[in-house]
């Protein structure tokens, strides 16, 4: 599975989920793209989807195939880090913190949206041959702040997904 597919499939599912709840969704280029939350109007909420890189994985490290000629093909696994940020502009209400836990103007509480987003991500399943574990592993939730430390009304859900890394079909022997 290519990286663009790895991100596109769950992003599309989360976009559909957000739009059904009068929210928007976007894919972030880098962690600072979270600042787009500052442009969000108070009427809805925003889901930001970020692929935050990968690292070598021990899970599935023995995944190999033997081709028709008997040659062993190695498919190294990588643990992909995915962040899903759920945020809302709480507006200028004197009791703005209530919007975290109570419905306001017909809008779901922010923490309810965070809970639903986490449940949605954990329910997503990749096709059999696409990833090693087929499901995201939940790694926790953190509050989101600006680079200067100012807190935003947003939470970052952290997930991991082990997938094999694409390898070119033809070997290229390096020479000096």
Residue 92, domain extent:
3-164
**Whether residue 67 has pLDDT greater than 60:** no
- 129 class by beta-carbon count within 10 Å (0-12 exposed, 13-18 middle, 19+ buried): exposed
Mean pLDDT of 16-32: 91
What pLDDT, on the 0 to 100 scale, is given for residue 165?
75
Quick: pLDDT tens for 90-146.
766 656 667 788 887 788 899 999 999 999 999 999 887 666 678 999 999 999 988
What pLDDT, on the 0 to 100 scale, is given for residue 126?
86
Q: What is the DSSP string of 103-126?
A: -BTTBPPHHHHHHHHHHHHHH-B-
CATH number, domain of 67, equals: 3.30.2000.10
Cβ atoms of 121 and 14 closer than 8 Å: yes
Inside any domain, residue 157? yes
Inside any domain, residue 173? no
Nearest CA among 56, 112, 116 for reference residue 81: 56
Inside any domain, residue 79? yes
Q: Which of 5-14, 29-38, 70-79 has the highest mean pLDDT?
A: 5-14
């Amino acid at each position: 599975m290519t990286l663009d597919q790895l991100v596109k499939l769950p992003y599309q599912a989360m976009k559909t989920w957000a739009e059904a709840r009068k929210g928007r969704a976007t894919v972030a280029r880098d962690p600072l793209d979270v600042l787009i939350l500052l442009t969000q109007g108070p009427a809805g909420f925003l889901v930001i989807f970020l692929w935050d890189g990968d690292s070598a994985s021990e899970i599935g490290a023995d995944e190999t195939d033997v081709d028709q000629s008997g040659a062993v093909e190695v498919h190294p696994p990588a643990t992909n880090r995915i962040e899903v940020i759920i945020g809302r502009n709480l507006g200028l209400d004197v009791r703005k913190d209530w919007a975290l836990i109570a419905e306001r103007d017909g809008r779901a509480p922010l923490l309810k949206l965070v809970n639903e987003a986490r449940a949605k991500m954990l329910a997503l399943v990749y096709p059999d041959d696409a990833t090693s574990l087929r499901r995201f592993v939940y790694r926790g939730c953190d509050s989101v702040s600006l680079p200067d430390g100012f807190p935003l009304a947003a939470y970052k859900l952290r997930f991991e997904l082990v997938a094999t890394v694409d390898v070119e079909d033809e070997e290229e022997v390096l020479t000096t």
